[in-house]
Amino acid sequence: MTADNPDEISVIVVNYGTAELAAAAVESVLAHPAGGRRVTVHLVDNASPAEDATLFAKWHAERGWGSRVTLYPEQENHGFGRGNNLVLERLARQVPPPRHVMLLNPDARLDNDAAGLLADFLDAHPEAAMAGAGIVKPDGTPVTAAFRFPNPVAEFAQALNFGPVARLARHRLVPLSPDAPRGPVGWVAGAAVMIRFEVLRTEGFFDPAYFLYYEEVDLMLRTTRNGHAIWYLPEARVIHAEGAATRVKSGESARRRRPGYWYRSWAYYQRKNHGPVLALTSAAAWALGAALNHGIARLRGQEPRAPLHFFGDFRREALPILLGRRDMDGRAPAHA
């Protein structure tokens, strides 16, 4: 990279156990022109249990990825935020660094010149720090990719899952419609988002305390609190096979058991960004909504909305963090 090439886009893909999909993600980026910009891809393998790192090295040679793709065969699963940070810290040492960074999930691929469309928008709108793509399922069905920030009203209404209450709270619910129009939003899906690199560097990249989930919400909340806008651009299209690596899917995981790190991330996000009082208020709202939903669901002969083992997992994983009795690694905080 040279100083006369300021429009470079660096795309980061962090893989865990989805080698074929991650390779398709890389090749979808290489196949599109990105508005004539120079594009590089950084493919991180987070110590996948299979032979993903070996496969990436093989495909790098066989498929002619060359200098356009840099591989990071890690020996530790860093999670999403820390995996991205590995690349972001390396990019920060480049002179000059890339103008934009695009985060792309390993189970996502570009359906059009999404990278070029997102970069064009950011270049034309200096007030915008990030722009998220529209996301569709492999069958073309649009899914929600733009959101409001979490709040206690939304926690209660979404856990309760009762039509009249949901309608009253419709302007506070976190997910926007899958057919939401282009415009500024609270946050966008981290599966396909482009970010000005200088904003990322100013914000200090991802908070390394997170392992998985809520790290992008945290980053976007920090960014908006510092006066930047987050935009949603549905015309930039990405196909996403959601949950291929994590097995957690929005709309399909309600009666599966969620991993402990999901609850810990939620609790850490709440306490860090809103303080202990509002965090506990959100927790109480969620738990009350879930408890009431259990009764409503039984009366209707339906499955409850909450994930399996919700109350026990929430009490064991989230509550100690909300109360300040445990950090994200399970240790008592140093001040305790």
What length is written for the chain? 336
Q: DSSP state, 256?
A: S
Separation CA 294–CA 159 (nearest Å): 10
User: What pLDDT score does 146 carry?
Assistant: 98
Q: Do the beta carbons of residue 43 and residue 71 sit within 8 Å?
A: yes
Share of the chain above pLDDT 90, in %: 89
Give the predicted TM-score (pTM) of the model: 0.92
User: What pLDDT score does 333 carry?
Assistant: 64
Instruction: State which residues of the chain have pLDDT below 70.
Output: 1-7, 242-254, 330-336
User: What pLDDT score does 249 carry?
Assistant: 54
User: What pLDDT score does 327 carry?
Assistant: 86
| Nearest alpha carbon to residue 193 among 228, 140, 226, 230 | 230
* Residue 6 DSSP SS3: coil
| Nearest alpha carbon to residue 10 among 191, 135, 188, 197 | 197
Cα 214 to chain centroid distance, Å, stands at: 7
Residues in CB range of 164: below 8 A, 6 or more apart? none
User: What pLDDT score does 328 carry?
Assistant: 85
Map tokens 């865990």 to a residue.
16
Amino acid at 212: L
* Strand pairing report for 229-240 and 183-185: antiparallel
| Nearest alpha carbon to residue 160 among 319, 299, 280, 285 | 285
Q: DSSP state, 330?
A: S
Separation CA 26–CA 112 (nearest Å): 14
Separation CA 44–CA 84 (nearest Å): 8
User: What pLDDT score does 4 carry?
Assistant: 47
In sequence order, the β-bridge partners of residue 12 are 42, 103
Name the fold adopted by 9-144+180-240.
Spore Coat Polysaccharide Biosynthesis Protein SpsA; Chain A (3.90.550)
Q: DSSP state, 175?
A: B
